[in-house]
């Protein structure tokens, strides 16, 4: 089973397609975020899917009123995204507006230091929201594996945990998986390396050996 998600945060279409082609053997999915969508346009989603033949996650972290979330998500699913990442703090109507159109992943706790300021204190409420809404998955921080374990202990069975923060942000892929994550998201450690394919292979093997 593949558990690696490539966070493809480059601006250029050609570079994105090349890295996707090189690494796809080791990926469960590719995640695109605003940098690539703004740099290469929404059509890059379909091109990446054709090139890499893996699911595509659109990390837009939608955080708007239901109508605006729906308008944005509609375009992104239509462009070929299989999953859209949404913030949960806007409330269940905003999240459900996206879920009516396709699979969602809800941010429960972010990986950067500032997440301790406002998001971590409300993580329990966001876990409850996820348990009610039943998304495909939630985001939890690889930078704090103990928080992955906590979130896993409260999360309804079947909801996946996807975890960013490995490598460049200091987290360990193996520890994140041992703590209860299902998929590990890695960006800079792969796409900034001299040999992205080899780096992706190493992460894949680390993840295969972890549990």
Restricting to residues 14-33, which ones interact with ligand FNU according to CB under 6 A? 33
Q: Which of 140, 137, 198 is nearest to 166 (CA)?
A: 140
CB closer to ligand FNU out of 86 and 97: 86
| By CB under 6 A, residue 81 contacts ligand FNU | no
Which residue minimizes CB distance to ligand FNU? 187
Q: Which of residues 130-149 bind ligand FNU (CB under 6 A)?
A: 139, 141
163-172: Cβ within 8 A, 24+ apart: 163/111, 163/139, 164/7, 164/111, 164/139, 165/111, 165/112, 165/141, 166/142, 166/203, 168/192, 169/111, 169/112, 169/142, 169/143, 170/143, 171/111, 171/141, 171/142, 171/143, 171/145, 172/142, 172/145
Please, which residue, 67 or 124, has the CB nearer to ligand FNU? 124
- Indicate which residues carry an active-site annotation: 59, 61, 64
Query: Is residue 59 near ligand FNU by the rule CB under 6 A?
Result: yes
Residues 172-201 touching ligand FNU, rule: CB under 6 A, are: 185-189
For residue 68, the SS3 value is helix
By beta-carbon proximity to ligand FNU, the closer residue of 51 and 169 is 169
Residues in the chain: 211
Q: Which residues line the annotated binding site for substrate? A: 9, 31, 59-68, 111, 164-174, 187-188
Q: Which residues line the annotated binding site? A: 9, 31, 59-68, 111, 164-174, 187-188
């Amino acid at each position: 089973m593949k558990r690696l998600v490539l966070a493809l945060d480059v601006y250029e279409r050609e570079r994105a397609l090349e890295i996707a082609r090189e690494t796809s053997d080791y990926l469960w999915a590719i995640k695109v975020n605003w940098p690539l969508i703004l740099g290469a346009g929404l059509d890059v989603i379909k091109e990446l899917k054709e090139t890499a033949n893996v699911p595509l996650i659109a990390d837009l972290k939608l955080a708007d009123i239901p109508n605006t979330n729906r308008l944005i998500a509609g375009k992104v699913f239509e462009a070929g995204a299989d999953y859209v990442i949404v913030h949960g703090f806007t409330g269940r109507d905003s999240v459900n507006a996206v879920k009516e159109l396709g699979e969602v992943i809800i941010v429960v706790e972010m990986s950067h230091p500032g997440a301790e300021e406002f998001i971590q204190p409300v993580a329990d409420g966001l876990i409850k929201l996820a348990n009610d809404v039943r998304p495909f998955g939630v985001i939890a921080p690889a930078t704090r594996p103990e928080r992955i374990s906590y979130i896993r202990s409260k999360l309804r069975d079947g909801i996946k945990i996807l975890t960013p923060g490995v490598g460049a942000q200091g987290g360990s892929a193996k520890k994140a998986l041992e703590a209860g994550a299902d998929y590990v998201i890695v960006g800079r450690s792969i796409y900034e390396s001299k040999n992205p394919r080899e780096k992706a292979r190493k992460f894949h093997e680390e993840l295969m050996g972890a549990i």
